[in-house]
Chains A and B, each alone.
Chain A
Amino acid sequence: MTIEDRPLLSRVAESVYWMARYIERAENVARFIGVNLHLQLDLEGDSVNQWESLVDTSGDAAVFRERYGEATQSSVLQFLVFDQENPNSIYSCLRSGRENARSVRETISSEMWEQINTMYLRMQAQKSSLDFESVPEFFRDLRFSCHLFQGITDTTMTHSEPWHFLRMGRKLERADKSSRMLDVKYFMLLPSLSDVNTPIDDIHWSAVLKSVSGFEMYRKKYGRLVPRDIVAFLVLDKEFPRAIRYCVHSADQSLRAITGTANGSFAYRSEQLMGRLHADLDFTSVDSVLRDGLHEFLDRLQAKLNTIDDHIQSEFFARGI
């Protein structure tokens, strides 16, 4: 699959890529929070601070502690949803996503623009107040709005080069967020390797699956909740759309559609790295991942995703090629 049609401005490619990443990021933050809220109802009085772990997932824990101190429901919601100074809050993600969309309105479809603009305006109208009853509804709506945006994107925009940059951004972001979610929860829940094959019916593990909308799909495939199988499902599944391997697979596909390079070879460094990561995930077994340490594995994976992003940046977006 090669793309031979009209040239794509580097600046536009970059904006489209980031637009997708920001919307995906907003959706993931909404997912994490939504599940946490749910979990909290089941874990009255539990010693583990769920809100603390949510801040860890976001990757901005240091900034949070400096600005807010203790992690409570209200401080974490404020930080992750409304804080305009936190570049990864939902508000900031929607604002940045929209700014990027606005700069490429002529490239995306009008319907996409209208949806992203509506999401932003609604968020703006919400300002910084969420009364307790409207909280679950708010996150549910936000998730659906993001899904709607993706549906509109895939059905109204030609699947040519700009769309592939968009999809690549979305999938890389999703792979990164899925890995963070798993990493934080795994570290917290299962420090000892010996428990890995024990069936559990832990509310935390179902929460992890629910946060990536994977609970039902997991049940269909594996039935019982077994940590090893959950890791296999979230990291190495070939068919589940939020599994890391699936995400890297589609990002790789889009990158090849953009460059036109044949399978089994590469013309860009980003392609080489993405292809390697893809192959790694294809030929890795869950047992070896667990044996070598899931945390170490996910850590390396996130570093690889970052390096790929850097190379995409310099090979396709940089000015003055």
Chain B
Amino acid sequence: MELKSNIPSGPMDQKWEKHRFDLKLVNPANKRKYTVLVVGTGLAGASAAASLAELGYNVKVFCFQDSPRRAHSIAAQGGINAAKNYCNDGDSVHRLFYDTVKGGDYRAREANVHRLAEISVSIIDQCVAQGVPFAREYGGLLANRSFGGTQVSRTFYARGQTGQQLLLGAYQAMMRQVGLGKVQLLPRTEMLDLVLVNGAARGVVTRHLVTGKLEVHTGDAVCLATGGYGNVFFLSTNAKGSNVTAAWRAARRGALFANPCFTQIHPTCIPVSGDHQSKLTLMSESLRNDGRIWVPTKNGDTRSPSSIPEAERDYYLERRYPSFGNLVPRDVASRAAKSACDEGRGVGPGGKGVYLDFGDAVQRLGQKAIAEKYGNLFDMYQRITDENPYKVPMRIYPAIHYTMGGLWVDYNLMSNIPGLYVLGEANFSDHGANRLGASALMQGLADGYFIIPYTIGDYLAKTKLDKVAPDHAECNRVKQDVSERLQKLMAGKGKRTVDSIHRELGKLLWDKCGMARNAAGLKEALGKLPDLREEFWKNVTIPGSGESFNQSLERAGRVADFLEFAEVLLTDAHDRNESCGGHFREEYQSPEGEAQRDDVNFAHVAAWEYRGPGEKPVLHKEPLTFEIVHPTQRSYK
């Protein structure tokens, strides 16, 4: 299989403009003859659904939550990047492009990233026009702050709830189209399989989560905007419901899964407090603008932080990376926290934590100014830990937060299955091996507002698509598969709950494929996976029935998919014999402990073809070339 990235020719800064002209158009009167299925209502899904409906397409949109406004984009805190250069500090499209390619440790497609940087400016315009209440200066103009991995201030924000406000903007635009009858909304409806007809994506099989009813929905193209797979680790900052099922069901039908080992560990999360823990909570990266990270210089120092004198504190990020200090990229900050804790200098229960200290900032700016910037985050920290971060330094530790890997897509965001588009975190496209802060919101909205409306038209205009009705033989066949799988799940009357097996899977992955990985550990985990899968199918118990609101059954289907997907994740991590971005292989590091890439052998996208449980997936490589930003050892010193 040859992977055609379909990157347009021409100079980097003209590719997208040229491509937009080359793309075929569907005339306005014909658009209403097409139906597009959009799965997921986060930033990417909601913005795509709204924009496509505005153009005149009929859109059906699905989400598993009770309302599309619950999608996990809502939890993004810090901000959204855009190359506006409002701060006059030397920002430009080229600089955002450069920072993102470098921040991604040279494992992203240059052309995609350049397009993202170009579009970033329009996103802010769009959101402001929708009424997104971004933070403003006293003169009434938009405010910016800085974020990790950059030396300019290009991040727009709405207190610590930027994701919420952007999502509500996209949701409201979509609901307007629901009111106009152009979008049909199906909440509490989970996609459980993809229907291909003559090799093209033409429909989805869904389960209504309240009635258990299986349905087939058909259309001319399918957009998956279903988020990342971070919950394969059980404990992550993702919402409880976030899952890999839609993407994985597509992978089982032939879509390639790219770079699954590129997982992002966020350095500033609230540490684990006990075995009952259901999820981890992020403290926004923006806190690193004013908070200083430190651990005691002495091992096993159990004094309270206020009684440790300045001279006995190690501000290790400021020491190791003087030019970026506390604002190094996430992968670098996470690894540094891990090594401090591994040396025995970690703080809090079990030594799994470092301090994020606002003492200096409160002294410099006053508590009121700090509260205005981060008040909601401080309140959240206090509710969870019962400690007051204005007085006592926060304790933080890295946690799984985002996944750069995802379904493989070409420049048009189409997977290797014709008519199957993948948007937002669900695709692998723009962040390489490490995503910079405030770039996820930018990518989700770029894909939905400004890319898919153009590229999907080209496909529909060029492709002859016969009508496919929901009772088409292929639809019935896939629906039957789904129904049998649900029956098989319901038949389990063993002794383990779904969550207990999910926790076991998560621990295995965190231990062997977390912040640091090595070949032996990955092999060991790959060896244990088939047993865990067997344990699941043999010994899981799901009470209730499949024809009702059954949350255990929902979770079971998702965990079954995680158990298969984990094999591809581990294989990718095992076979990528280099360290880059979020993928840190202990065998490949510099004497100072920095990640060591292997550009000769691994400057490629690893796209995996699934062949069934227990069978090694087949690797397809898309070589990456760098015309503009030449790979060097990333340095934030």
A binds B: no
